[in-house]
Amino acid sequence: MWYILLLAFIGYITLYLVSTYLKKHRGPILGITCFSFLIFCEFYLVEEMEWHKIRGAQMLLVMRIISIAFDTDFGTLEHIPSPFEFMGYICCCGTCIFGPWIPYKNYISLCDRTPLFICVSLHRWLIAYRDAFAFRSSHYFISFLSEASAMISGFGNESDSIWSFVVTRPLSIEAPRSLVEVVIYWNRPMHYWFKTYVFRSTRPLGSVAAVLSTYIVSILMHGLNFQLAAVLFSLGGYTYVEFSLRHKLAQVFDACIEAHPCRQRCSHRHKAKQLSTKLANVGFGILTMFHLSYLGVMFDMSSTLQEKGYSYSHTLSKWSNLHFASLWVVLGTYIFYLLI
């Protein structure tokens, strides 16, 4: 790697000195300098095996240095680039390894190009997805460790098949069918506990009361933290709205689009394998990923606040930065559910 950087340094110093004092013959002088450096490295400085690994990148680097020198001689460039512009061009991450060679003017036009509006508008959401995914990845790591420790202790061999003790299913969370399934597969044993001992015990009070009680108990168990409370309460409301809407839509369109997958012999006219049904479920899955990015954005793994817990101002500022978009979408979804 240092051979490439050394050639870049020598190339720019030579270009600067020639442009300052001679002000002509930049191309031939830079060509002689670069080829002399290549010959010296190949025969005297670098081992043969290592040179074969980097000679492609060296060739691209030489082409770029020489092209800048000749373009300056021809008048295509009014002046030599600054050190930062020079290094940015020859080390352009998109073309410095596999190529191809691109003229300096094309590189500059790329840098001066107006960014796409969709990229600008989605930038904060990409950051939100990144932060949420980082948090989920740490959860997967701990869950797999718990699976391993449980299986080492002898759990998971209830049958003659391969031992299995599932705590989480990352694929069902990263490519979800619904938020309901995300809640289920986030932690299977914990979900079973809440379903058995909290949800079913409070089910006689009504579905809303049962869901609310489940999430209240979950909040108490996780600790009285505003951040977790906000996320869990939001999940409770989100999953209730999603489950109710998809249940009603499944009845209206007679299709397998409920929050849970239908059984193999369901009574719906439009089965799960039909294209329209698949598109609907994919659409709901994308909406779920949108909600997960919003709900997980405040779990900033790089922040020092995570050691002592996040304050309510941190949570609200993160959601405010996204204009509470997910909350408005859920509110609109609930209104749509009431109207149909």
Taking the C-alpha atoms of residue 66 and residue 161, their distance in angstroms, rounded to an integer, is 66
Question: What residues does 270 pair with on adjacent strands?
Answer: 255
Annotated catalytic sites, by residue?
Answer: 222
Other residues' Cβ atoms within 10 Å of the Cβ of residue 234:
19
Give the closest residue to 215 by CA, choosing from 202, 229, 203. Answer: 229
DSSP calls for 233-257: HHHHHHHHHHHHHHHHHHHHHTBS-
Contact 108, 86 (CB under 8 A): no
Other residues' Cβ atoms within 10 Å of the Cβ of residue 239:
21
Residue at token pair 């295509």? 76
Taking the C-alpha atoms of residue 64 and residue 84, their distance in angstroms, rounded to an integer, is 15
Q: Helix or strand or coil: residue 160?
A: coil
